[in-house]
Amino acid sequence: MGARSLRSWLTLQRVAAAVAIWVVGSLIGVGVFTLIYGKAYSYLGSDPVTCTNCHVMNKQYDGWTKGSHHNVATCNDCHTPHDSIVHKYWVKADDGVRHGFKFATNTYPENIQIRDTNLKIANDACLYCHSDFTSSIHQTVPEGEQLSCVHCHRDVGHK
């Protein structure tokens, strides 16, 4: 967050909320609070409806139901790693606690933007399903780099 956006982020309301949470958190533990109040445990499931336990996910959920992948991929197919079960649950826990905390404290932006690490996970997911179709176009890509599917297909998951 740049200095500019920080200025607009720091409204009185948010500062007050953050302080309040800090007080509550130090009493009963931010983790537990987040997990319960913020329903961060939802991250552990795989039913898309559990994601909408937080209304902030409604927009993406609505998009997904209209999107081309509605019948072929659920949230976790795109937003959690396919490489190992440990990595998968690590990401779920990381996202769950992070987002749960932000949800509970109302400190997320109006338009949520995917983080680079999670974008990479989504891109890996594209390749997990489509690598046959895209193997040809991938041969010109240097080792260690990936074609960004989302550069062109930003909408597949959500429109």
Q: Which residues bind other proteins (CB under 8 A)?
A: 1-2, 4-5, 7-8, 52-53, 55-56, 58, 83, 109-111, 113, 124, 127-128, 131-143, 145, 147-148, 151-154
Kindly provide the b/e burial profile for residues 51-69, where b requires at least 16 CB atoms within 10 angstroms of the residue's own CB: bbbbebbeebbeebeebee
Q: How far apart (Å, rounded) are the C-alpha atoms in residues 85 and 132?
A: 23
Q: What angle do CA 136, 124, 153 make, to 5 degrees?
A: 70
Interacting partner of 116 out of ligand HEC, other proteins, none (Cβ under 5 to 8 A depending on kind): none
* Least distance from other proteins to the Cβ atom of residue 138, Å: 4
Report helix, strand and coil shares of the chain as percent, to nearest 5: 65, 0, 35
- Position 98, amino acid: R
Tokens, residue 79: 């937003």
**Strand (E) or helix (H) holding 74:** none
Interacting partner of 14 out of other proteins, ligand HEC, none (Cβ under 5 to 8 A depending on kind): none
* Site membership for ligand HEC, residue 21 (CB under 6 A): no
- Judged by the rule CB under 6 A, the positions of this chain that interact with ligand HEC are 38-40, 42-43, 48, 50-51, 53-54, 56-57, 60-61, 64, 68-69, 72-73, 75-79, 95, 99-100, 102-103, 108-109, 112-115, 118-119, 122, 125-130, 133-134, 136-137, 139-141, 147-154, 156-158
